Amino acid sequence: MDGYRQTLLGRALADALRELEKEQEEGDTDAGGLKIDGDYVFVLFDKAMRAELRDRNNSQEEQAQTFTHETLELTGQITAFNRFMEDWSLRACANACDIKLNNCVAGLHLPQQGQEVAIRLKLRQKT
């Protein structure tokens, strides 16, 4: 279960649970009297993640991967949020003009105020 807590989904769930527990401690009436058992929620999360990973592994064996582009080149900043064993969660930020697909500048057609692109990546070591 600790490995899943280091994933983005696990971190988001933990943050949401922390906020709910904080509201309960403060006696916030908006919580509707709902008691949250964070440990039990993570048990359910763990079971769901195991089932999803099992289903995903079975479907990957059945179908070959297809790619829309051979290369993606980003020139920007990388932030590593989580690392559990060989699984990494990264956030890459780059200016739109610094993103190249198949060695050509990508035409992203972004609004003027949003010329920077942020991408979240999940990296896994191939087995």
5-59 confidence digits (pLDDT tens): 556 677 777 778 888 878 877 775 555 566 777 777 777 877 777 777 776 666 5
| 58/33 same-domain check | yes
pLDDT band at 1 (very low <50, low <70, confident <90, very high): very low
Please report whether residue 36 resides in a domain: yes
Q: Do 6 and 82 form a contact (C-beta atoms < 8 A)?
A: yes
Mean pLDDT value across residues 114-123? 75
Please report whether residue 40 resides in a domain: yes
Please report whether residue 67 resides in a domain: no
At which of 62, 81, 104 does a domain end? 62
Specify the 3-state DSSP secondary structure of 98. strand
Domain with 47, as residue range(s), is 2-62
| 54/93 same-domain check | no
| 57/95 same-domain check | no
C-alpha separations of 96 from 28, 77, 108 in Å:
44, 13, 7
Whole-structure pTM value: 0.35
